[in-house]
């Protein structure tokens, strides 16, 4: 799904030209800095001066690539959503639910591992009421989740999953996977470790996948076995 339709600011839509490698490289450098500053100080505390300093460029040069602060904020959010949304969109109705949902969980946790700052930028936007994302959340994201809820319901109808509310299953996956990025200090403190290693994330992938399927497996077992135990 293309997140750009609702998220692209007017200043970036008009007269768009093919970007050079230098432009792309500089934009990536600015976005890296912007995401880091927003994750640390929030949207209101993330000043253009600080972002430019972190990116190692002048403020006028930054405004050449992102004319306004809102343009930069939207670009930072879109960078995260393009990846997240594509992962959810790949759920295949013809696939096995265990494989499809396990892949989605693994990809989400890998995103938390590889780029936790991006997740924190998104969390900051949500915590302040989603002023930049509200339209997108109510339209494109809502439509995508509804579409994938139909996929999950089809698996339930085929007996591949126990009855479960699909949208709340998606919520559960989001909460379980993004937790490792958004609440990393808490996770490290409780586990008694200095940093989250690939092994830590491997464990979280296995546990999250097991948790999502445990209830449905028990329910299917109950439906299949309990009737045989009933007295004639």
CATH number for domain 78-225, candidates 1.10.357.10, 3.90.1150.10, 2.60.40.10, 1.10.10.10: 1.10.357.10
pLDDT of residue 219: 44
Nearest to 123 by CA among 46, 165, 179, 203: 179
The whole-angstrom separation of Cα 8 and Cα 11 is 8
pLDDT of residue 16: 57
Dihedral of CA 19/10/76/80: which sign? negative
Dihedral of CA 44/49/55/61: which sign? positive
For 232, the token pair is: 């004639």
Please check the confidence at residue 223 and state whether its pLDDT lies above 50. Answer: no
What digits encode the pLDDT tens for the residues 82-115?
888 999 999 999 999 988 998 999 899 889 888 9
pLDDT of residue 200: 74
- The structural domains of the chain, with segments of one domain joined by +, span 20-67, 78-225
The whole-angstrom separation of Cα 217 and Cα 97 is 12
Nearest to 7 by CA among 171, 122, 165, 167: 122
What does the H/E/C string look like for 180-199?
A: HHHCHHHHHHHHCCCCCCHH
pLDDT of residue 136: 94
Please check the confidence at residue 217 and state whether its pLDDT lies above 90. Answer: no
Degrees, nearest 5: CA angle 125-102-154:
95
pLDDT of residue 216: 53
How many other CB atoms sit within 10 Å of the CB of residue 65?
Answer: 19
pTM: 0.79
Q: How does the average pLDDT of the chain come out, rounded? A: 84
Nearest to 73 by CA among 145, 113, 142, 128: 128
Instruction: Provide CB contacts within 8 A for 128, sequence distance 6+.
Output: 42, 43, 44
User: Is 173:112 a contact under the CB 8 Å cutoff?
Assistant: no
Please check the confidence at residue 21 and state whether its pLDDT lies above 70. Answer: yes
Give domain 20-67's CATH architecture: Orthogonal Bundle (1.10)
The pLDDT-based confidence of 202 (bands split at 50, 70, 90) is confident
The arithmetic mean of pLDDT across residues 176-184, rounded, is: 89
């Amino acid at each position: 799904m293309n997140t750009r339709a609702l998220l692209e600011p007017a200043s970036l839509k008009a007269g768009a030209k093919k970007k050079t490698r230098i432009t792309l490289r500089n934009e990536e450098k600015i976005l890296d800095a912007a995401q880091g500053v927003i994750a640390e100080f929030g949207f209101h505390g993330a000043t253009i001066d600080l972002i430019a300093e972190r990116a190692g460029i002048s403020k006028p040069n930054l405004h050449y690539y992102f004319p306004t602060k809102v343009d930069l904020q939207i670009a930072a959010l879109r960078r995260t959503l393009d990846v997240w949304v594509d992962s959810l969109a790949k759920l295949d109705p013809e696939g096995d639910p265990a494989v499809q949902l396990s892949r989605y969980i693994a990809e989400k946790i890998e995103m938390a591992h590889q780029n936790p700052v991006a997740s924190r930028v998104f969390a900051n936007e949500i915590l302040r009421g989603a002023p930049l994302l509200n339209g997108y959340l109510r339209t494109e994201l809502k439509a995508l989740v509804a579409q994938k809820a139909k996929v999950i319901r089809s698996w339930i109808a085929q007996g591949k999953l126990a009855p479960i509310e699909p949208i709340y299953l998606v919520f559960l996956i989001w909460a379980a996977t993004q937790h490792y990025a958004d609440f990393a200090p808490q996770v490290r403190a409780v586990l008694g470790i200095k940093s989250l290693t690939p092994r830590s994330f491997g464990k979280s992938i296995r546990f999250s996948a097991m948790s999502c399927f445990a209830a449905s497996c028990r329910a299917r077992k109950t439906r299949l076995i309990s009737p045989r135990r009933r007295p004639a």
